[in-house]
């Protein structure tokens, strides 16, 4: 008889965070003795949240990212979501729109309306927001390289609805840096792209003062396979880059910094995620006050949107995704998010069905109204473990930021493939750990079953592309060709010079130049960009 069987290997129960920070069995006062003091919520550096009363004052905005097929169909989905208690809209565009390609362009074949809604012209945007008063409903738009174009379309629709631009509030993603780093939806080389991003920030500071002209995003960096620490570090370093460039434009820091917003992932390691949000607030407050000399308190406060991790959803046993999403969403809320998207259980397969998206929204509502976690701000603050982990995450993120500073900034780092390579390394390491069973994914590499759970999926009507193309052809016939061409010519001139391009984009949009035509005009001036892919 064997004396003792070896203790069961702790397979899949790895006691380290997703960023690889080892975790002790317990934490006590000695782990937090070296950490900075912890002022109350609403006080600098806002580790515990940007508001003293937090969710007692106001709940987060429940904002489900949504869009598919044609503007007509997506408009119906928006009206439905608003009728179900959703409090803001978030537009998902299809790949052709994200890439500045019109629905009738050959490279759009097979992609129109698949991953989001197809918007090629102002006409599409008018249909998308039909019956939705933009002065009352805040709209977030996930668009980056063509962001100035879609922003101009949104402003033109608001104007037609009779809304005052001063009243508009919402968010434009407009974060081109993370495209080079992670999501890869770029059109032009980094430097002219940065100029366009700053054109939007500058124009918005003057014309739409309640609107967030950028959402500096770690979400996609994380989805591309980064760790939580990398997500935090690269996102804040991107933020520094935008501030540097906007200052160079001549805007005083407090004229635009209060409207910079952020977007983070809510992934699986519950405590590391909460630590990440808390560290993000603390770091940004110091960056804005100490590095940039901002004096307006609002410039110090990091506001963010959170979305649960799409890449954590499994194709196997899809109902498990409801539970994953609930836990991730709870981390976002305990981390003090300002708005939240919860993924639907079917999103490893397709865009969500109405049934699935309703469950996802209900998940937020259960957390908000039933769980009681909204009562006190930063309810986990003061936990030895969480405070220690917040400090660790911050320390490691600072190291990355210093390295990128030493390289000369994020654009240079991107040109040298630094963040891309770090992310690729992390994602490969993670995948190997899953493969070897060191990281358990329930229903995938453990507790799997042969029984297939059938779920009903949203099918995108293949005729959507056809309908978009017909509408676009009719528009091209109907509009004044001369007016459109003149507007595009003025736009090119503006792009060649150094003035803000937004007024010219607005003219072009109102002359019903398409997104593809406007993006094409910029491409003529700026050229296009191909990355040197690293493995």
Report the C-alpha dihedral over residues 300, 141, 182, 387, rounded to 10 degrees.
40
CB contact at 8 A, 239 and 284? yes
Q: What is the size of the binding site for other proteins (CB under 8 A)?
A: 42
Residues numbered 281 to 310 that lie near other proteins (CB under 8 A) are none
Q: Give me the 23-62 binding string for other proteins, x by CB under 8 A, dash otherwise.
A: ----------------------------------------
Q: How far is the CB of 125 from other proteins (least distance, A)?
A: 20
Quick one: which of 533, 534, 17 has its CA closest to 279?
A: 17
The sign of the CA dihedral 339, 345, 351, 355 is negative
69 is a site residue for other proteins (CB under 8 A): no
Q: How far is the CB of 182 from other proteins (least distance, A)?
A: 9
Q: Give the sheet arrangement for strand 61-62, strand by strand.
A: 61-62, 339-341, 304-308, 260-266, 214-217
316 is a site residue for other proteins (CB under 8 A): yes
Q: Give me the 103-122 binding string for other proteins, x by CB under 8 A, dash otherwise.
A: ----xxxxx--xx-------
Distance CA 24, CA 388 (A): 11
523 is a site residue for other proteins (CB under 8 A): no
Task: Closer to other proteins by CB, 165 or 349: give it.
Answer: 349
Task: Closer to other proteins by CB, 184 or 483: give it.
Answer: 184
Residues numbered 172 to 201 that lie near other proteins (CB under 8 A) are 179, 183-186
Alpha-helical runs (H) found in 208-335:
219-223, 228-248, 253-256, 270-286, 297-300, 320-334
Task: Closer to other proteins by CB, 112 or 306: give it.
Answer: 112
The tokens describing 342, both together, are 């919860």
Q: How far is the CB of 111 from other proteins (least distance, A)?
A: 5
Close Cβ partners of 436 (under 8 Å, ≥ 6 residues apart) = none
95 is a site residue for other proteins (CB under 8 A): yes
Residues numbered 419 to 438 that lie near other proteins (CB under 8 A) are 424, 427-428, 431-432, 435
Q: How far is the CB of 446 from other proteins (least distance, A)?
A: 12
Residues numbered 452 to 491 that lie near other proteins (CB under 8 A) are 457, 460
The one among 123, 223, 241, 392 contacting other proteins by CB under 8 A = 223
Distance CA 291, CA 293 (A): 6
CB atoms within 10 A of CB 5: 6
Give the range of 49-57, 281-289, 365-373, 526-534 binding other proteins by CB under 8 A.
526-534
Distance CA 424, CA 268 (A): 19
Per-residue DSSP letter, 22: B
CB atoms within 10 A of CB 247: 16
CB atoms within 10 A of CB 95: 18
The one among 137, 322, 444, 525 contacting other proteins by CB under 8 A = 444
3-state secondary structure of 170: strand
Per-residue DSSP letter, 380: T
Q: Which residues pair with 304 in a beta bridge?
A: 262
Residues numbered 338 to 357 that lie near other proteins (CB under 8 A) are 348-350
Q: How far is the CB of 10 from other proteins (least distance, A)?
A: 21
87 is a site residue for other proteins (CB under 8 A): no
Distance CA 225, CA 242 (A): 23
The one among 5, 6, 9, 535 contacting other proteins by CB under 8 A = 535
User: Which chain residues interact with other proteins by CB under 8 A?
Assistant: 95-96, 98-99, 101, 107-111, 114-115, 179, 183-186, 223-225, 311, 314-316, 348-350, 424, 427-428, 431-432, 435, 444-445, 457, 460, 530-533, 535
């Amino acid at each position: 008889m064997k004396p003792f069987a070896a203790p069961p290997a702790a397979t899949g129960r790895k006691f380290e965070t997703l960023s690889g920070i080892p975790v002790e069995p317990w934490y006590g006062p000695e782990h937090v003795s070296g950490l900075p003091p912890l002022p109350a919520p609403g006080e600098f550096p806002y580790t515990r949240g940007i508001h003293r009363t937090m969710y007692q004052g106001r709940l987060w905005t429940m904002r489900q990212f949504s869009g598919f097929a044609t503007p007509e169909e997506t408009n119906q989905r928006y009206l439905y979501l608003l009728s179900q208690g959703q409090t803001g809209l978030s537009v998902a565009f299809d790949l052709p729109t994200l890439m500045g390609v019109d629905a009738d362009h050959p490279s759009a074949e097979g992609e129109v309306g698949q991953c989001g809604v197809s918007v090629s012209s102002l006409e599409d945007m008018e249909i998308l927001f039909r019956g939705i008063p933009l002065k009352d409903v805040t709209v977030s738009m996930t668009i980056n390289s063509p962001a100035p174009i879609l922003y101009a379309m949104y402003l033109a629709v608001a104007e037609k609805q009779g809304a005052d631009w001063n009243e508009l509030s919402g968010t434009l993603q407009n974060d081109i840096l993370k495209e080079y780093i992670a999501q890869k939806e770029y059109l032009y080389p980094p430097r002219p792209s940065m100029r366009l991003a700053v054109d939007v920030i500058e124009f918005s500071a003057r014309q739409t003062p309640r609107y967030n002209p950028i959402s500096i995003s770690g979400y996609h960096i994380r989805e591309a396979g980064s760790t939580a620490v990398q997500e935090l570090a690269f996102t804040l370093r991107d933020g520094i880059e935008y501030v540097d460039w906007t200052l160079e434009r001549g805007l005083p820091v407090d004229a635009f910094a209060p409207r910079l917003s952020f977007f983070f992932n809510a992934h699986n390691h519950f405590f590391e995620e909460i630590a990440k949000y808390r560290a993000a607030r603390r770091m940004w407050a110091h960056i804005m006050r100490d590095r940039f000399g901002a004096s307006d308190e609002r410039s110090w406060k990091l506001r963010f949107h959170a979305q649960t991790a799409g890449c954590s959803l499994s194709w196997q046993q899809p109902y498990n995704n409801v539970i994953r999403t609930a836990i991730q969403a709870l981390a976002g809320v305990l981390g003090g998010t300002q708005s939240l998207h919860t993924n639907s259980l079917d999103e490893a397969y397709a865009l969500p069905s109405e049934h699935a998206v309703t469950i996802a929204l209900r998940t937020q509502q259960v957390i908000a109204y039933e769980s009681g976690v909204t009562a006190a701000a930063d309810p986990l603050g003061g936990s030895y473990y969480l405070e220690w982990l917040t400090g660790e995450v911050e320390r490691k993120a600072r190291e990355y930021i210093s390295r990128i500073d030493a390289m000369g900034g994020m654009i240079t780092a991107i040109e040298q493939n630094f963040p891309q390579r770090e992310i690729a390394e992390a994602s490969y390491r993670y995948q190997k750990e899953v493969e070897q069973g060191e990281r358990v994914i329930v229903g995938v590499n453990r507790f799997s079953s042969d029984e297939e759970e059938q779920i009903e999926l949203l099918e995108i009507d293949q005729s959507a592309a056809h309908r978009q193309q017909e509408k676009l052809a009719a528009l091209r016939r109907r509009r004044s060709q001369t007016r459109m061409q003149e507007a595009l010519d003025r736009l090119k001139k503006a792009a060649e010079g150094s003035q803000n391009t937004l007024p010219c984009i607005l003219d072009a949009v109102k002359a019903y130049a398409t997104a593809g035509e406007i993006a094409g005009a910029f491409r003529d001036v700026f050229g296009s960009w191909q990355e040197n892919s690293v493995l």
